[in-house]
Chains A and B, each alone.
Chain A
Amino acid sequence: MHPAFSVIFFTTASGAGYGLLALTGIGAPFGLIPADRGFGFTVLALALALITLGLLSSTAHLGRPERAWRAFSQWRTSWLSREGLLSLGTYAPTAVFGIGWVFFGRLDGVFTLAALALAVLAAITVYCTAMIYASLKPIHAWRNAWVPRVYLVLSLMSGALWLNALVQLWGASASWLTILALLSIVAGAWTKERYWTFIDTTQGPSTVETATGLRGTVSFLDGPHTEANYLLREMGYRIARKHSVKLRRIALALGFALPLVLTLLSAVAAGPAAAFAALLAALSAMLGILVERWLFFAEAKHTVTLYYGATTA
């Protein structure tokens, strides 16, 4: 599948934003992160910026962005529609929670409820994003249970790394966050490895024989057109095996290994050095996830390629 940057950026940025938002919603009412209003403003501003930039970027991929509002109507069957509605819906409790915290310094009562609601909605939104891909039968690399797991774990991981960095930059520390960040890095790397093993060792049910229904050994002789068309550009994207191996290593290094080391460093160091290491960990994870998302598209094969010379998809 063609790796469109607008969509890759969208899932990476909004995934991190929702992770950060959800952890803030859980951490703030229970006093697990600094309660001062300035911190509230900073953390919510970053989370909302990541989410909103991501959502805006996703509309850049549309042929008619000015009609994007129409996408909220078909939630009964469309994961894309559900994702749109939930992403909008998450803004409401976030607004209540943010106003309570930043303007009135309140985190109790209705504001606690709003915080918990936004955490739940944020998680469901990320799940819906993953299901847009995981519901597509023609793409074996997407239609499997590892896809929502990877999206959820990476969202949690990047959110934990950002919150850890912000807490440390604020001069505070929260050991639960460091532990959560470390655990989610391990979980993220493990889930991603399992995903890669899954797509490397299994293939979808369709072959050129089922695609044509012809009996015997079927081989592709000639295409309908001499130049590339929309189908080949959008769904026939191919990445060389050796590049994908190299890129997987880069994704693992930037996305998991480096953040792990930096988070450990930030836990043992003190002062600005610790905060700086935590910030680098979050930034490195973002780069790693961008590469991982690029591969998520580039490595995915679509059944339409069976009509253009592929034998399995």
Chain B
Amino acid sequence: MTSYTVGEKKLGLVIDLDTCVGCHACAVNCKEWNTGGHSAPLPDRDPYGADVTGVWFNRIHTFEVDDGECGRTVHFPKSCLHCEQPACVEVCPTGASYKRTEDGIVLVNADTCIGCKLCSWACPYGAREFDDDAGVMKKCTLCIDRIYNENLEEVDRVPACVATCPASARHFGDLGDPGSAVSRLVAERGGHDLMPELGYKPVNKYLPPRAGRARQAAETPERLEAVAADTGSLFLRWIDRALSR
């Protein structure tokens, strides 16, 4: 359905740029789960060779930020943001790309996709990757096959990336419910949208890095006193080292 309706429920992710350590564990677990999941398989060409290429739903970029006071490295995981106004869905000529009314998840039907790639051009965020083995488009499913999976323990019914993040930098929930834990987190930490100026209204939110401590302007470290003048003969130095062992 290229026309869509936005429901009450808006499942999505909240990604904490303050705590993400850039370990890529979420991306690896995503690949691991999804290469056997709803949109399986995710191709991997020449995986151990020089010209490796393949489809991933989640990728971790790294930026350097200089805000005048302190500089920092920010790891930046990026996957489909399950936008409220997904042009990727609107441009799809076949209806293969669709947005679910019941939870807002944006999916591709691999049985009807013609592989025209237009949706990947329409996504500003680069969240769609083409599978040239199957000739169809692939993208993050928000682990639709985990979050509703009754064969999993309740605690495991979260997207694979969220389940695996060792820094707890990823949170999953209903961003359409202002009282949900994720919505409160966004409100508390000033969570923001990516490229709001384009009007896609992403559901996923990013929490900005917390303010760093400003560097003292002319802070010179205290000089340590030399323990001993290193001028003795080779023999004395050897004795000294042997005795201090």
Contacts and interface: CB of A to CB of B under 8 A. Distances in A.
Nearest to B24: A224
Contacts of B2: 74, 76-78, 81
A234 B130 CA distance: 10
Interface in B162-217: 192-200, 206, 208-209
Interface in A172-225: 205-206, 208, 210-225
Interface in B123-140: 123-126, 129-132, 134-137
A19 interface: no
Contacts of B136: 63-64
Interface string A297-313: 00000111001100000
A81 B93 contact: yes
A230 B129 contact: yes
A219 B63 contact: yes
A221 B65 CA distance: 10
A62 interface: yes
Nearest to A215: B67
Given A137-B124, A219-B64, A227-B53, A76 B94 contact: no
A257 interface: no
Contacts of A89: none
A73 interface: yes
A228 interface: yes
Contact of A213 (B61, B122, B193): B193
A205 B198 contact: yes
Contact of B115 (A63, A137, A138, A231): A63
B93 to A, nearest CB: 4
B63 A78 contact: no
A71 interface: yes
A246 interface: no
B208 to A, nearest CB: 7
A283 B135 CA distance: 35
Contacts of B125: 303-304, 307
Contacts of A215: 65, 67, 208
Interface residues of B, number: 69
B25 interface: no
Interface residues of A, number: 58
A70 B121 contact: no
Interface string A248-261: 00000000000000
B63 A221 contact: yes
B161 interface: no
Contacts of B131: 63
A93 to B, nearest CB: 23
Interface stretch (B5-13, B84-92, B148-156, B229-237): B84-92
A138 B124 contact: yes
A84 interface: yes
Contacts of B94: 67, 70-71, 73-74, 81
Contacts of B60: 224
A68 B114 contact: yes
B33 interface: no
Nearest to B131: A63
Contact of B197 (A80, A205, A216, A228): A205
B27 interface: yes
Contacts of B52: 226-227
7 contacts: A63-B135, A81-B2, A84-B93, A213-B192, A224-B60, A302-B126, A303-B125
Q: Which 8 A-B pairs have the closest CB atoms?
A: A63-B115, A63-B135, A216-B67, A304-B126, A224-B59, A81-B93, A71-B93, A138-B124
Given A64-B115, A206-B195, A227-B52, 7 more contacts: A67-B94, A67-B114, A81-B94, A137-B122, A211-B194, A216-B68, A302-B124
